[in-house]
Amino acid sequence: MTIPRPRPVPPVQPELEDCCRSGCTPCVFDLYEAALERYEQALAAWEAEQARQEKSPPGHPHA
């Protein structure tokens, strides 16, 4: 039996006051956007994996 992977957790969006407004590169909002993009990709992969597992007949290994 395969242990299911947990659903990916979205990143925490920074508060407006988390930005120092000094033009940092990367800004906390840039880092958040990159993390959000990675999360969305991981979530799509996780959802596809869940859909494949739901279609697999019982007792057969999941692809």
Structure tokens of 38?
């990675």
Report how far residue 30's alpha carbon sits from residue 10's, in angstroms, rounded to the nearest whole number.
15
Instruction: Please write the tens of the pLDDT for every residue from 11-50.
Output: 999 999 999 999 999 999 999 999 999 999 999 999 999 9
Query: Based on C-alpha coordinates, what's the Rg of the chain?
Result: 18
Predicted pLDDT of residue 61: 56
Instruction: Please write the tens of the pLDDT for every residue from 39-61.
Output: 999 999 999 999 988 887 666 55
Note down the domain range covering 38: 24-53
Predicted pLDDT of residue 48: 95
The tally of CA atoms less than 13 A away on the side-chain side of residue 6 is 3
Predicted pLDDT of residue 60: 56
My answer on whether omega of the bond before 14 falls inside 30° of 0, hence cis, is no
Tell me how many domains the chain contains: 1
Is residue 8 in a domain? no
Whole-prediction pTM = 0.78
Is residue 43 in a domain? yes
